[in-house]
Amino acid sequence: MRLSVNTFYGLSIGTVPNSTILFDPPIQQAELLKQWLQANKEYIEIVVSQKLYDKANQEIAQPCDSQIRKISQILSLNEVVKSFWIKARITIKTSENCVYFLACPGCSKACGGAYKYEFTCFYCNHEFPSPKPLLRFQAELFDGTWNLSAYVEHKEATMLLCMSGEDVIEAEEKEMPFCPDIFNQKLQDSQFLFQLRTSWNKARGKSFVRNTVIACLPATESSSASHSYEDKSSSFKGEGLL
């Protein structure tokens, strides 16, 4: 009942608690599904191996003008909007040494391992030769009506900074640390379309709303075009923002 597929931090399937799961049931629908699986076996293997089911690897359609909200409008509402688009500029607020975190290459959750050293993930219980540095920073988004704090992570952070977590670490080793001021100066006049997801979090007994950027597109005049992450990264090729 109410089957759902979630690609957040991996791939998982969920149902409501009172669901009943039957394995290989002798019904016509199951036979049709088996035929479809056999006919599309090669494609399914590609989807799984390349993680094409992940939202980060799928094309993102640019929202139409009616879907874009003002920050002041979002903040004036009495209820929390779970997902919305805004057109805004961005300023990075995180300090130089907090722009990335070390994560498990399998489940992408933060781990206590040291970079380039073997470790076992506490969450997925798999061994890896090294944790993977993933970008994550706190930013301020502003559209002329108000400001909004949000976290930018992974693919979206890589697209905006034109560099990866590995690039940041390599720069640190060369005594060329990441500089937020240079990033802010280069993109101070650039506008982007941000899709944000809000969630409730608790810390020290207090509840607060966390905004996370889940999609980022260069702002264009046309609202009908669609872009993929490959298209976006090609639009921002050039020197890393060091």
Lowest mean pLDDT among 9-18, 63-72, 212-221: 9-18
Residue-wise pLDDT for 49-108, tens only, equals: 887 877 667 777 789 889 999 999 999 988 888 899 999 999 999 776 689 999 998 888
The answer, yes or no, to whether residue 224 has pLDDT greater than 90, is no
Which pLDDT band, with edges at 50, 70 and 90, does 240 fall under? very low
Rounded mean pLDDT, 106-131: 89
Is 228's pLDDT higher than 60? no
Q: Are residues 31 and 139 in the same domain?
A: no
Q: Examine residue 129 and state whether it is found in any structural domain, yes or no.
A: no
Q: Does residue 214 sit in the same domain as residue 155? A: yes
- Same domain flag for 39 and 140: no
pLDDT-wise least confident of 164-173, 182-191, 196-205: 196-205
Q: Tell me the average pLDDT across 212-221.
A: 86
141 shares its domain with 21:
no
Judged against a pLDDT cut of 70, whether residue 222 lies above it is answered with no
CA distance 116 to 173: 13
**Same structural domain, 25 and 82:** no
pLDDT band of 11, cuts 50, 70, 90? confident
Would 116 be classed as within a structural domain? Answer: no
11 and 95 part of one domain: no
> Is 130 part of any domain?
no
Of 31, 49, 67, which marks where a domain is finished? Answer: 49
Residues 144 and 184 in one domain: yes
Residue 186 lies in a domain: yes
Q: What is the DSSP string of 108-140?
A: --B--PPTTS-EE-TTT--EESS-EEEEEEEEE
For residue 120, being part of any structural domain is answered with no
CB 137 within 8 A of CB 104: no
- Is the domain of 41 the same as that of 160? no
What does the block give as tokens for 223? 């609202």
207 falls within a domain: yes
For residues 183 and 224, membership in a common domain is answered with: yes
Residues 238, 179, 155: CA angle, nearest 5 degrees: 55
Higher pLDDT, residue 169 or 225: 169
According to the model, what pLDDT value does residue 176 have? 87
One domain for residues 87 and 206: yes
Domain count, the chain: 2
Shared-domain flag, residues 37 and 90: no
Average model confidence (pLDDT) across the chain: 83
DSSP state of 53: T
Q: 171 and 226: one domain?
A: yes
Q: How confident is the model at residue 132 (pLDDT cuts 50, 70, 90)?
A: very high
Q: If pLDDT is split at 50, 70 and 90, which confidence band does 197 have?
A: very high
For residues 99 and 168, the answer to whether their CB atoms sit within 8 Å is: yes
Confidence (pLDDT) at 239: 41
Residue 107 placed within a domain: no
CB 164 within 8 A of CB 135: yes
CATH of the domain at 182: 2.40.50.140
Q: Is residue 45 part of a domain?
A: yes
pLDDT band for 238, please (50, 70, 90 cuts). very low
Instruction: Give 9's pLDDT tier (boundaries 50, 70, 90).
Output: low
Range(s) of the domain holding residue 66: 59-101+135-235
- Binned at pLDDT 50, 70 and 90, residue 203 comes out as low
Q: What integer pLDDT is reported at residue 71 of this predicted model?
A: 95
